[in-house]
Structure formats: C-alpha cells, structure tokens
C-alpha cells in the first residue's frame, strides 16, 4: 500500500501553532482573533460547516460568533449586516456560508465583505491578488492541498501536476498555488481527451470534480501521488473522487476521504483569522 497522507495529523500540528499564537497573546494581554460566520437560512451542509468552525475555533481559544439570519432576509439587509462587521474593529475574520437563498445576488454579497476580513478568499479583490501572486489569505481547501504536500516534504518545483476540475473554489486556485511553487500544471476537465494517459504521466494528481470513485487504477502509475479533494455521499458514507481501495496499492502516496484534505480546511481558515489580526495591528 502507498503511504497515507494523514490530514488529521497535519491538522493537529497546525492547531498547535494556532493555540500557541493565541495563548501567547493572552499572556501579553493582547486581543485574540475573532471570527464571525454568517448563515442565512438552514441549509443542512452549511449548518454542519458552521458548527464545525465553531468547534475548532473555540477549542483553540479563538473567539467565534454565529450570525444566524432568516432566509427571508433582503439582500440589502444582509449587506448592512456585513458592513457592521466590516466596521467592527473587534472582528478580524468574516465567513459567509454558501449557497445563499434564491433571490440574493451571491457575488454582490460576497464582495461586500472587506478584503481585510475575507479569510476564505472569496472576494474579487482577494482572488485577483491571488492570481497576481500578491500576498493574500489563501483559500482554505486549495491551501490544504499545498500544506499536505509540503508537510510530507513532497517537492513541487518542476513536477508535472494534473488538476482534474476547474471550479473557482478549488480547481483554478489550487492550480495557481501550484504554479506559485514552480510546478508544471495541467488543468483537466470533462471535455479533456485522453485523460487517463495524461494522468498516468503525472507526478501528482489533484482530483476535485465531485464524482465519487471516479479515478481508478487506470489513471495512475506506481510513483503517483494522489490528492483527493472530493467529498460526496455514497451509500450513506462520505466518499472521495478516488476509488481508494483500487488505487491505494498502485501509487506511492494518497490522501484518504475522510481524513485527508477536508480534515485540514477549517483549521487553515482559523489560521487565516490569526493572520488577519496581525495584519490589522500592522
């Protein structure tokens, strides 16, 4: 079996860094980071994520507030609530749970968030900085991919990396982060021809398409490093985009689902809030 890249283990390491940062500030009588997460309505997935954010943040000594708003809220009122948070010097990170209810212009609301508090890198301003290579809060799921690779001392410079998926949330930004590390990146998608051949020639494969067990042993070689970003429900179980059982014995390294990329994302989101606090003070 290939080496399992343990996202939970890496998450614990990053959590210790955050806990140390927060405790050090408390000892000096300084502010600790505060995050406000906004939930409009009661989407089941969003409720799960916001509760998990709260659990992680509070366990690390970070102040966390849930702003729960009725799904009938007007777009104008929602933007007003965001502006209040933008102007609150005690709030350092703002998270907006997506999707928003129908009738609300998601892009307009997202871009109402101050770029200084946009710890999920959703605003056009921060995304623009990301693609221009400027310093910015790194989007947590793509950053999880990079962090796992670096923690396992996987060299990225000059490596042939295939990213399957071109979403604005994962595929495109993770490709950019890999380019920033001097990897040679190929972005593939549903219209790509000879996908199996392309993947078999890759050093690293990042799969983010939302199709459970899509990638099988025909896509890999014995030196492949496979990073599975997918999370789907299949037969009542959380399943990735990789057919783990069929692939794990055929590759050098692989992330599991659950316990891989997803185990780290919320932790990195909270880490961004720590960075936002430092930026605010400087």
What pLDDT, in 10s, does the model give residues 159-203? 999 999 999 999 999 999 999 999 999 999 999 999 999 999 999
Chain center to CA of 242:
18
The reply to whether 61 sits in an annotated binding site is: no
190 with 249, same domain: the answer is yes
11/261 Cα distance (integer angstroms): 10
The reply to whether 144 sits in an annotated binding site is: no
The reply to whether 167 sits in an annotated binding site is: yes
261/142 Cα distance (integer angstroms): 9
155 with 212, same domain: the answer is yes
159 with 214, same domain: the answer is yes
- CB-based contacts of 265, cutoff 8 Å, min separation 6: 140, 141, 144
| Peptide bond before residue 108 is cis, with ω within 30 degrees of 0 | no
The parent domain of residue 43 ranges over 29-119
Return the CATH number at 202: 3.40.50.720
The reply to whether 231 sits in an annotated binding site is: yes
205/160 Cα distance (integer angstroms): 9
- 144, part of any domain: yes
Tally of structural domains, the chain: 2
Confidence at residue 164, expressed as pLDDT on a 0 to 100 scale: 98
- Write out pLDDT tens, residues 104-116: 999 999 999 999 9
213/193 Cα distance (integer angstroms): 19
């Amino acid at each position: 079996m290939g080496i399992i890249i343990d996202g939970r283990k890496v998450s614990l390491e990053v959590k210790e860094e955050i806990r140390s940062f927060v405790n050090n500030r408390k000892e000096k009588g300084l502010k600790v980071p505060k995050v406000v997460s906004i939930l409009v309505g009661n989407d089941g997935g969003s409720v799960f994520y916001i509760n998990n954010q709260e659990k992680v943040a509070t366990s690390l000594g970070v102040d966390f507030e849930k702003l729960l708003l009725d799904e009938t809220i007007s777009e104008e009122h929602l933007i007003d609530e965001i502006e209040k948070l933008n102007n609150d010097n005690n709030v350092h990170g703002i998270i907006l749970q997506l999707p928003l209810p129908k009738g609300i212009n998601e892009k307009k609301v997202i871009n109402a968030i101050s770029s200084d508090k946009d710890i999920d890198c959703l605003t056009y301003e921060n995304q623009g900085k990301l693609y221009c290579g400027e310093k910015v809060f790194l989007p947590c799921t793509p950053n999880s991919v990079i962090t796992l690779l670096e923690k396992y001392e996987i060299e990225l410079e000059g490596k042939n990396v295939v990213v399957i998926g071109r979403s604005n949330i994962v595929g495109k930004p993770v490709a950019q982060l890999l380019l920033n590390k001097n990897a040679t990146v190929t972005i593939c998608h549903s219209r790509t021809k000879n996908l199996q051949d392309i993947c078999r020639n890759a050093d690293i494969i990042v799969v983010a398409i939302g199709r459970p067990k899509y990638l099988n042993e025909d896509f890999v070689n014995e030196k492949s490093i496979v990073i599975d970003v997918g999370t789907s429900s299949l037969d009542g179980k959380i399943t990735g985009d990789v057919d783990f059982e069929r692939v794990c014995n055929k590759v050098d390294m692989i992330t599991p689902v659950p316990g891989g990329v997803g185990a780290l994302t919320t932790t990195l989101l909270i880490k961004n809030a720590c960075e936002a606090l430092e930026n605010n003070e400087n």
